[in-house]
Structure 1
Amino acid sequence: MRVGVIGLGDIAEKAYLPVLSTLPDLDLRLHTRTPETLRRIAAAYRVPAEHCHADLDGLLAGGLDAAFVHAATSAHPALVTRLLEAGVPTFVDKPLAYTLADSARLLELSRERGVGLMVGFNRRHVPAYAASRELPRDLIVVRRNRVDTAREVRTVVFDDLIHVVDTLRFLAPGTIEHVDVRARVVDGLAQHFVLHLSGAGFSAIGTLNLRSGSNEEILEVSGRDTMREVYNLADVVDHDRGLPTARRRGDWTPIARQRGIEQLVLAFTEAVRTGVFPDLDDVLRTHEMCELVVTEVEKLTG
């Protein structure tokens, strides 16, 4: 399978290429506009020079069976459009775009062309998160903390809060009927968000603090006198009527597997082979909720 990797920044280098390079049936092709980065990554993963491209036209001319897009979010619409129009099944880091309109257009293009498209919501593949769907989930809490990363509202919502939004949607045990949004914005920069989703018999609360004292993510799922806590996608503490049981990730568990990246790569390559891709409507609903958050915060702060 001829697989293009577009954008060779941190997410590609640290998360995806270590997985892709171990799969024996993949023939990697690289694209970035930065020559030095292209040379360095090609050397590290033994990609021949003829499979390294500083322009997208050259990459497409060589023929692709699939592509991974790890470029900046602002570049997603143009890149994904080119790939889908060229008939290349495409994996793209979340979000699809910074606006709901662009995201919806790309999803519709995928449908119109009959070309597979998958968005990288890795939390859905984190073992401890996926297993939490089997537990009672009357109350779901996701707390995501960052250090000194206050930014413009739309950018933060679609690049960072989207993790919280999609995790709450993924774990919600029923239809979300109510959405409440609160935020603190200072001089146009988002400081924190609080999101409350609810439906019949459950509440799901998510927070993103961009001026916290720590970089961390904590999930709590509880109901029927049980609770599961997951720290930083890895360490799990289960509570049953007051009795805690702690489980740390195995010392030899690869980080890519712990964070759901390995599972995402395997799911996408299998989808390319079978032609069966995840539900695009579900992808759109997460982007719709992010757009709703932006709108509500603008009302609160405008």
Structure 2
Amino acid sequence: MRIGIIGLGDIAQKAYLPVLAGREGTELVLCTRDAKCLHRISTRYRIKECYTELSHLLAAGVDAIMIHAATQAHSQMAMQALQAGIPVFVDKPLSYHFEQCEPVFELAAKQNLPFMLGFNRRYAPLYQDAISAPLLSLNYQKNRFNLPDEPRRFIVDDFIHLIDFALFCGKQAPSDVQLMTSIEQKKLATISVNWQQQQAQFRISMNRLNGINQERLEYHSCNQHWQIDNLRQGVHYQQNQQIPLGFDDWQTTLFKRGFVTMINEWVRRIESGDSQSNDIQHLWNVHWLAEQLTQQAEQRCLKS
């Protein structure tokens, strides 16, 4: 299998190349306009086929494309690959603006091609253990130290991880949400979003004025409760007992954070031609909700 990778920044180098380069039967083809980076990475992983233009990569007979370029280029590059009939994986988000996402989702559905975005948290092993149980309530927070930001970057670049995970657990878009925010010097400092679907309750939040970078998932099922911290350790409560959750020392950070499982799923979709049409609708819902929240938060920042 030949997989083309365009964009060789930090995320590609830290999260994707170490996993993909070690897969038996996978041949990587690299593409970036940064000649020095291209030479360095291709030498490190002994990759012989490299390009500096996307058009050349698309004409190279690859079985799939993975886009790790700047976010501003994601949607255009995805459109080009889909128009060429090539399955596409894109770093999240697809775009900072929802109107640029819609044509890509429509084309992916029309072409019936595998299409995936890099939402790794739904593939994190400790999270997968929890979400296998029917949901009663979810409280998911991802906090950062001293990092208020403009709403679009705050929500669409970071908070969108929580939106994806919550909608993935709920299996549909919420019809009505409650948004709470706090503003610090015209920047978004905290956000909390709540809603209910049938009997399940959802709360996702981010505090950018937290004492430390921190992530915690609390997932409640019938007489069960999972509390998972920073994707790598936690506790499963049931039958009035506490069961510690964690990993063996030999397991990698990329496995703990869901990247290995996500990449395995991506390769499976390429091999099988599985377009996962329901997932395209899910991704549409995620970016649509992110856009609605962003517009509301932007108005609040302007009025503050």
2:137–2:201 CA contact under 8 A, matched in 1 = yes
1:272-283 to structure 2, matched below 5 A, reads 272-278=270-276, 279=278, 280-283=280-283
User: Is the CA contact (8 Å cut-off) linking 1:178 and 1:199 kept in structure 2?
Assistant: no
1:122-271 paired onto structure 2 within 5 Å: 122-172=120-170, 176-240=174-238, 242-271=240-269
Distance 2:55 2:138 in 1: 46
Contact 2:188/2:297 (8 A) holds in 1:
no
Identity %: 30
Q: How does 1:46-57 map to 2 (within 5 A)?
A: 46-48=46-48, 51-57=49-55
Partner of 1:37: 37
Query: Is the 1:118–1:268 Cα contact (8 Å) retained in structure 2?
Result: yes
Moved more, 242-251 or 257-266: 242-251
Letter in 2 for 1:55: E
Change (3 A) 1:268 1:143: same
Q: Residues 174 and 200 of structure 1 are in contact (CA less than 8 Å); yes or no, is this contact kept in structure 2?
A: no
Change (3 A) 1:211 1:90: same
Residue of structure 2 in register with 1:12 after alignment: 12
> C-alpha distance in 1, partners of 2:188/2:173?
28
Aligned position for 2:288: 288
The normalised TM-score by structure 1 is: 0.93
Amino acid at match of 1:88: I
Matched residue type, 1:27: E
Q: What corresponds to 2:78 in structure 1?
A: 80
Cα separation, 2, equivalents of 1:156 and 1:176? 21
**Superposed displacement of residue 200, structure 1:** 2.0
TM-score (norm 2): 0.92
State the distance in 1 between where 2:57 and 2:172 align. Answer: 43
3-state DSSP of counterpart to 2:56: helix
Going from structure 1 to structure 2, the CA distance change for 1:60 and 1:224 (only over 3 Å counts) comes to closer
1:223: Cα distance to partner?
4.1
Greater mean alpha carbon deviation, residues 276-285 or residues 236-245:
236-245
Residue type of the partner of 1:36?
K
Q: In the TM superposition, what is the alpha-carbon distance from 1:211 to its structure 2 partner?
A: 2.3
Counterpart CA distance in 2 for 1:211 and 1:40 is 38
Q: CA deviation at 1:78?
A: 1.5
Question: 2:235 touches 2:244 (CA, 8 Å); kept in 1?
Answer: yes
Counterpart of 1:151 in 2: which secondary structure?
A: coil
CA 219–104 in structure 1, closer or farther in 2 if over 3 Å, else same: same
Q: Distance in 2 between matches of 1:59 and 1:291?
A: 32
For 1:137, the aligned partner's letter is: L
User: Which amino acid is the alignment partner of residue 25 of structure 2?
Assistant: D
State the Cα deviation string for residues 229-280 of structure 1 (Å, max 9, x = none): 0111111201225432212211111222211111111111111121112221
In 1, the alpha carbon distance for the partners of 2:221 and 2:28 equals 46
Change in 2 beyond 3 A, CA 1:41/1:173 = closer
SS in 1 for 2:95: coil
Structure-1 residue corresponding to 2:108: 110
Quote the Cα distance in structure 2 between the aligned partners of 1:150 and 1:12: 26
How many residue pairs match? The answer is: 300
Q: Cα RMSD between the aligned structures?
A: 1.8
> Which is further off, 189-198 or 134-143?
134-143
- Which structure 1 residue ranges, 5 or more long, are not aligned? none
For residues 56-98 of structure 1, what are the alpha-carbon distances to aligned partners after superposition, in whole Å with 9 as ceiling and x for unaligned? 2232232211111111211101111111112211101111111
SS at match of 2:286: helix
Distance 2:243 2:290 in 1: 35
Tell me the secondary structure at the aligned position of residue 219 of structure 1.
Answer: strand
